[in-house]
Amino acid sequence: MVQQSPEQVEQLVAPIALYPDALVAQILAASTYPTEIVEADRWVQQHSELKGEQLAQAVDQQSWDPSIKAITQFPSVLANMDKNLSWASALGDAYVNDQQAVLDAVQTMRKRAQQAGNLKAAPQENVVTQGQTIVIQPANPDVVYVPAYDPWLVYGSPLIAYPGWYWYPGLYAVGPGISFGIGFGLGFYAGFGWGWHHWDADWRGRHVMFDNDRYVSHSRTFFDHNHFYRGGPGFRGGSEFHGTPEFHGGPQAHGGSEFHGGAAAPAFHGSATPQAQPGTRSGAFSGFNHGGVARGFSSRGQSSFGGGFHGGGFHGGGGHR
């Protein structure tokens, strides 16, 4: 992974830095599972008739990471991560490789928004400064409002938008301020082990908390280059990309219809494609980070694969309907 500058990390966190702490934690964790983001968004669209407790119970039965399950409670957030998948996966890559820098950047952007007069307490949320830390919590512990804002304008001096960032109608209001839509009640999700109250951000330690412990992503999508060495237990000649549910044996990969895509999907057949290449930012999914197939998808503005990813490992996509 090419070391990212603080400015680049700030650009990555800008779209989520002003969300409530627990939602930031869920998003950072979920961003390390880009394939599950797509699968979950597709699933939510296909099951739009499910509401409340029925939806929560159906989500609980899925094999997704707890963070992905948690994000399904906020379909607009999940949809944006899917539509802007190159951004979401780059965020996941950055979080896997330097959690402290990512959490630092969130606080930096909160301070900038506060200084610009755009981040302050509201009926929907509490904004509290504790020393050098800005904490954002729902005003009502049972209802979460997702703030809507232009991430490239809300922080005062305009930011350069993340390359390939796709804005679509309804994503946020145009202008420098923050607005709130409908609130999401937490009641139906409260009884599950992945619900809202199981997540938080540890601002002192600069990492995501899950169940009062440090969250550890088990995604095989990104290398942690701080703890990775070729031939070591985390690699073993590429077998990690060969037998895991995300890439080969699971329902969303070679063994199922979703990501197979015929001969045009070599990246998910355990081929040499996922191995780290010189100069790439993430060995397994460098296509996501550099725009690649993901940008070709997100820039079309579809909320699902449609005809599938084109121009890369995700060609064909006919299994998703």
Of the candidates 282, 270, 278, 276, the one whose C-alpha atom is nearest the C-alpha of residue 313 is 270
Highest mean predicted confidence (pLDDT) among 192-206, 249-263, 271-285 = 192-206
Does residue 207 contact residue 100 with C-beta atoms inside 8 Å?
yes
pLDDT at 222: 66
**Is 64 or 217 the better-scoring residue by pLDDT?**
64
* Cα separation, 83 vs 304, whole angstroms: 8
- pTM higher than the cut 0.75: no
| Structural tokens at position 211 | 């169940």
pLDDT at residue 181, rounded to an integer: 85
The segment with the largest mean pLDDT, out of 35-44, 171-180, 234-243, is 35-44
- pLDDT > 50? residue 259: no
What average pLDDT does range 104-118 have in this prediction? 97
Mean pLDDT score of the chain, rounded to an integer?
75
Residues 110/17, Cβ–Cβ less than 8 Å: yes
Q: Which of 220, 10, 200 is nearest to 102 (CA)?
A: 10
Amino acid letter at 173?
Answer: A
Confidence at residue 188, expressed as pLDDT on a 0 to 100 scale: 80
pLDDT at residue 258 is higher than 60: no
Q: pLDDT tier at 311 (50, 70, 90 boundaries)?
A: very low
At 144, phi and psi to the nearest 5?
Answer: -110, 130
Model confidence over 117-156: pLDDT tens digits?
Answer: 999 999 999 999 999 999 999 999 899 999 999 999 999 9
Residue 290 C-alpha from the chain's centroid: 16
Mean per-residue pLDDT for 199-205?
94
- Conformation bin of residue 105: beta by default, left when phi > 0, alpha when psi is -120 to 50: alpha
CA–CA distance, 248 with 112 (Å, rounded to integer) = 43
pLDDT, one tens digit per residue, over 51-68 is 888 889 999 999 999 999
Whether 34 shows a pLDDT value over 90: the answer reads yes
Grade residue 170 by pLDDT with cuts at 50, 70 and 90.
confident
Q: How far is CA 317 from CA 40, 44, 64, 297, in A?
A: 15, 18, 20, 12
Q: In this predicted structure, what is the pLDDT of residue 210?
A: 94
What pLDDT is attached to residue 278? Answer: 34
